[in-house]
Homo-oligomer: A and B are copies of this chain.
Amino acid sequence: MLKYQHIADELEHYIEEHKLQQGDKLPVLQDLMVQFGVSKSTVTKALELLETKGVIFQVRGSGIFVRRHKRKGYISLLSTQGFKKVLEEFQITSKVIELDIRKPTKEAALNLNVSVDDDVYYVKRIRYIHGQSLCLEESYFNKSIITYLNNEIITESIFHYITEGLGLNVGFTDMFLHVDKLTEEEADYLGLKKGDPKLYVESIFHLTNGQPFDFSKVTYNYVQSQFFVQAVL
């Protein structure tokens, strides 16, 4: 475990355990250096990480403070991939509608940077939060990277399998958001009415080496759709 990663984790746990609130002051840099027995740069690196994650903010000449919003029930758009952490916070389940190997659509091939003759895994599922329909999800996985999938895996967390099972490193994601009206098919799946609002998100997930491996099209139930984004700068 990297030192700065460890320090960041410790601090985050500390904030969580002691239920610190927005504006609460953390120990000064000097103290953290001594406490963890590392150099100033390493503490700084850990703090930069937490700042980018929206956990703290630093004020020159003043100190290090906790950043916390007060609202509950919002899903972070940035919290790692998909629902990795959300799975723990909320009760999310999945129902698989389709799973097969096929040739990608032109759109999927373009976004995955493969040929329309290459194989992809196609997954269609509905996800539920606390028993309510949360979203309808269609995913295309580059089969030369995600070499195997089955019903059990995609009923659980796909990303857990990709990182732990396949040992792949997820790097970054591009997400495109639209608001529109539900089609009849989508409304049926989500238990809503045709013409109701929807949040539609297309995501392209890349490995750390830049290869796209997952192109997903997700339609969210507007009733359950509460997202938050924390921006810095």
A residues at B contact (CB < 8 Å): 22-23, 41, 48, 52, 54, 57, 59, 62, 65, 67, 69, 71, 74, 77-78, 80-81, 170-181, 196-199, 204, 206, 208-210, 220, 222, 225-233
CB distance from A218 to the nearest CB of B (A): 13
- Of the residues B22, B176, B226, B228, contact of A228 by C-beta under 8 Å: B176
- Of the residues B204, B208, B220, contact of A57 by C-beta under 8 Å: B208
- Of the residues B23, B170, B198, B229, contact of A175 by C-beta under 8 Å: B229
CB distance from A178 to the nearest CB of B (A): 6
Asked if B233 and A177 sit within 8 Å, CB to CB, the answer is no
State the oligomeric state as a number of copies. Answer: 2
Besides A174-B228, A179-B222, 7 new A-B residue pairs in contact (Cβ under 8 A), listed by A number? A57-B171, A57-B206, A59-B208, A59-B210, A171-B232, A174-B229, A197-B198
Q: Which residues of B sit under 8 angstroms from A228, Cβ to Cβ?
A: 174-177
29 A-B residue contacts at CB 8 Å? A22-B210, A23-B210, A52-B52, A57-B171, A57-B210, A59-B208, A65-B210, A67-B172, A71-B176, A77-B177, A77-B231, A170-B233, A172-B230, A172-B231, A173-B230, A174-B228, A174-B230, A175-B228, A175-B229, A175-B230, A175-B231, A176-B228, A177-B199, A177-B229, A178-B226, A179-B179, A179-B222, A181-B197, A229-B229
Instruction: Give Cα distance in the complex from A11 to B214, angstroms.
Output: 29
If the complex has contacts A178-B226, A229-B229, are A209 and B54 also in contact, measured as CB distance less than 8 A?
A: no
Instruction: Give Cα distance in the complex from A230 to B69, angstroms.
Output: 22
Q: Which residue of B lies closest to A212 (CB)?
A: B22
CB distance from A221 to the nearest CB of B (A): 9
Instruction: Give Cα distance in the complex from A54 to B101, angstroms.
Output: 32
Instruction: Give Cα distance in the complex from A71 to B177, angstroms.
Output: 12
CB distance from A106 to the nearest CB of B (A): 14
Asked if B197 and A232 sit within 8 Å, CB to CB, the answer is no
Asked if B210 and A176 sit within 8 Å, CB to CB, the answer is no
Asked if A222 and B171 sit within 8 Å, CB to CB, the answer is no
Q: Which residues of B sit under 8 angstroms from A179, Cβ to Cβ?
A: 179, 197-199, 220, 222, 225
